[in-house]
Amino acid sequence: MKHVVATVDEIPPGRHTIVEVAGRSIGVFNIGGEFFALRNSCPHQGGPLCAGRVSGFVIAETPGEYQYSRQGEILRCPWHGWEFDIRTGQSWFDPAKVRVRRYDVTVAPSSATTDASPPAPGLEPGPYVAERYDVSVERQLVMVDVPG
């Protein structure tokens, strides 16, 4: 079941928010305009994973030569520093076995149009009618899909 958790404007690129959805605490991350959602519980000891630091990954092929990659895509648990890939939920130390629950996220347009309501029962429209305009509100919603 999909749950609306925010508008796109409420989670700018490089930021995240923690929401409560269907009794679960979930972190929703915006990485360069793409949205990802992870369970806010570290598989190690249940720490508040999504309250941790978001960073990148340092790679060193030879001593003294370092490369910083995947900026804003690595989440580090605030309790013990376990690192997880925000895009996949996989851990960096044992990606085949240890991961955090990941939820599908979609961005969908939302529009609502207001129509003039009919007169109350028993009343007829009068001879004077104010000019009116249809109004619509459009924005994009971030929705997290949490199974049943």
CATH number, domain with residue 50: 2.102.10.10
Q: What percent of the chain is modeled with pLDDT above 90?
A: 53
Provide the residue type at 4 as one letter. Answer: V
**143 vs 133, which has greater pLDDT?**
143
Is 134 a residue whose pLDDT tops 70? no
Structural domain including 90 reads: 2-145
* Predicted confidence band of residue 115 (pLDDT cuts 50, 70, 90): very low
pLDDT for residue 144 = 87
**119 vs 74, which has greater pLDDT?**
74
Residue 37: how many other CB atoms lie within 10 Å: 27
* Secondary structure element (H or E) that encloses residue 39, with its range: strand 34-39
Residue 59: how many other CB atoms lie within 10 Å: 11
pTM of the model: 0.74
Number of domains in the chain: 1
Q: For 12-51, what is each residue's pLDDT tens digit? A: 999 999 999 989 999 999 999 999 999 999 999 999 999 9
Q: Is 51 helix (H, G, I), strand (E, B) or coil?
A: helix
> Are 19 and 26 spatial neighbours (Cβ–Cβ below 8 Å)?
yes
pLDDT for residue 69 = 86
pLDDT for residue 130 = 65
Mean pLDDT throughout 67-89? 93
What average pLDDT does the chain have?
A: 85
Q: Is 50 helix (H, G, I), strand (E, B) or coil?
A: helix
